[in-house]
C-alpha cells in the first residue's frame, strides 16, 4: 500500500498576526512556520504507523508552496516519510491546493491519501473532500481511528451527536482529527536521515483561483469584565439585552 500525506505549512500558534498592503496581505516577516498540527500529529503519524506495521510500503509527503516551505517538509521527512514533493506555487484558495495535489497524484498510484481535517490558519476544512472528487476516490472525513485489512479500510468518525464506524475499499482519501494517532517528535537519527531523503520540486499545473481574499481584519479588542452582584438580576438582564445583545 502506497500512502500520500498532504502537509500544509501554517504560522506557529504563538505568532503575532499582522497585515500589510492595506490589510490585503498576511505579513509573514518574522513568522515561524510549522506543519499544520492535524497533518503532522494525526495523518502523518498514522501513515508512519501503518508502514511500521508492514501494512504500507511507502509514505510520500506533498505540499503546495514555494521554497520557504522546504524546512517544514524536511521536518516531516525527519519524522519518517520516505520522500517529499513540493509543488512550486503558493495559493490560499483551497480548490487550487486540492487541484495541484490531484494533478500530481493522478499518475502515482496511491492507495490512500491522508490529510488533516483542516488547517489552523484558514480553517476551511475543504481540501480533503475536493481532492477525493478530483481523484475520483472515496472520501471519509473527520476520522478518529483508521484500521486496514487487505484492501478494506475501517474507520471511526464523528457525526452529530455521536460516532459511526464505516468500511470502505481503497483507493480513498481520509481527513484525520484527534484520536487517529499520538504525536511524535523527530529524533537525531531521523533529522540526519532527512538531509539525504529526496525532495522533488514539481512545476504547478495551470489552475485558476476560484476565490480570492479581499481583505483581512483583526477581531475586536476584548472589553473589560463587568462584575454584577448576585442579588442584582435586573442589571444583569439589562446588560445582556442592551450590551451583549444575547437576549
Is residue 223 predicted with pLDDT exceeding 80? Answer: no
How many residues does this entry show for the chain?
247
Is residue 187 predicted with pLDDT exceeding 90? Answer: no
**Separation of first and last alpha carbons in the chain:** 55
CA distance 105 to 74: 20
Residue 173's CB is within 10 A of a number of other CB atoms, namely 29
Is residue 13 predicted with pLDDT exceeding 80? Answer: yes
Residue 116: per-residue pLDDT:
96
Residue 198: per-residue pLDDT:
87
Sign of the Cα torsion 11, 13, 15, 20 reads positive
Q: Look-up: residue for cell 501494512?
A: 55
Residue 188: per-residue pLDDT:
81
Helix, strand, coil content of the chain in percent (nearest 5): 25, 30, 45
The 10s digit of each residue's pLDDT in 84-136 is 999 999 999 999 999 999 999 999 999 999 999 999 999 999 999 999 999 99
Cell of residue 182, nine digits: 499520538
CA distance 199 to 208: 26
Considering the chain, what percentage of its residues have pLDDT values greater than 70? 100
Residue 142: per-residue pLDDT:
93
Residue 192: per-residue pLDDT:
84
Share the mean pLDDT of the chain. Answer: 92
Which domains, and CATH codes, for the chain?
2-219 (3.40.50.620)
Is residue 194 predicted with pLDDT exceeding 80? Answer: yes
Instruction: Locate the DSSP E strands across the chain.
Output: 2-6, 9-11, 19-20, 25-26, 33-35, 58-64, 83-87, 112-116, 138-149, 152-159, 162-169, 172-176, 199-202
Is residue 243 predicted with pLDDT exceeding 90? Answer: no
> Per-residue confidence at 38, pLDDT binned at 50, 70, 90?
very high
Residue 206: per-residue pLDDT:
96
Amino acid at each position: 500500500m502506497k500512502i500520500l500525506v498532504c502537509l500544509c505549512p501554517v504560522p506557529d500558534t504563538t505568532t503575532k498576526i499582522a497585515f500589510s498592503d492595506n490589510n490585503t496581505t498576511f505579513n509573514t516577516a518574522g513568522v515561524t512556520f510549522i506543519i499544520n498540527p492535524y497533518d503532522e500529529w494525526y495523518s502523518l503519524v498514522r501513515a508512519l504507523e501503518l508502514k511500521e506495521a508492514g501494512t504500507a510500503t511507502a509514505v510520500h509527503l506533498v505540499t503546495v508552496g514555494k521554497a520557504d516551505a522546504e524546512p517544514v517538509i524536511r521536518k516531516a521527512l525527519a519524522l519518517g516519510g520516505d520522500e517529499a514533493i513540493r509543488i512550486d506555487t503558493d495559493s490560499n484558495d483551497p480548490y487550487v491546493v486540492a487541484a495541484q495535489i490531484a494533478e500530481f497524484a493522478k499518475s502515482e498510484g496511491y492507495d490512500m491519501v491522508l490529510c488533516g481535517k483542516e488547517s489552523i490558519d484558514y480553517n476551511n476544512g475543504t481540501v480533503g473532500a475536493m481532492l477525493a472528487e478530483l481523484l475520483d476516490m472515496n472520501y471519509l472525513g473527520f476520522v478518529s481511528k483508521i484500521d486496514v485489512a487487505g484492501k478494506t479500510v475501517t474507520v471511526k468518525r464523528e457525526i452529530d451527536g455521536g460516532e459511526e464506524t464505516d468500511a470502505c475499499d481503497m483507493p480513498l482519501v481520509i481527513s484525520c482529527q484527534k484520536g487517529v494517532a499520538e504525536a511524535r517528535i523527530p529524533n537525531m537519527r531521523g533529522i540526519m536521515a532527512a538531509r539525504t531523503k529526496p525532495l522533488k520540486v514539481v512545476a504547478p499545473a495551470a489552475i485558476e483561483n476560484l476565490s480570492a481574499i479581499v481583505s483581512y481584519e483583526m477581531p475586536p479588542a476584548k472589553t473589560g469584565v463587568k462584575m454584577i452582584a448576585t442579588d442584582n438580576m435586573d442589571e444583569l438582564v439589562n446588560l445582556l439585552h442592551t450590551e451583549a445583545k444575547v437576549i
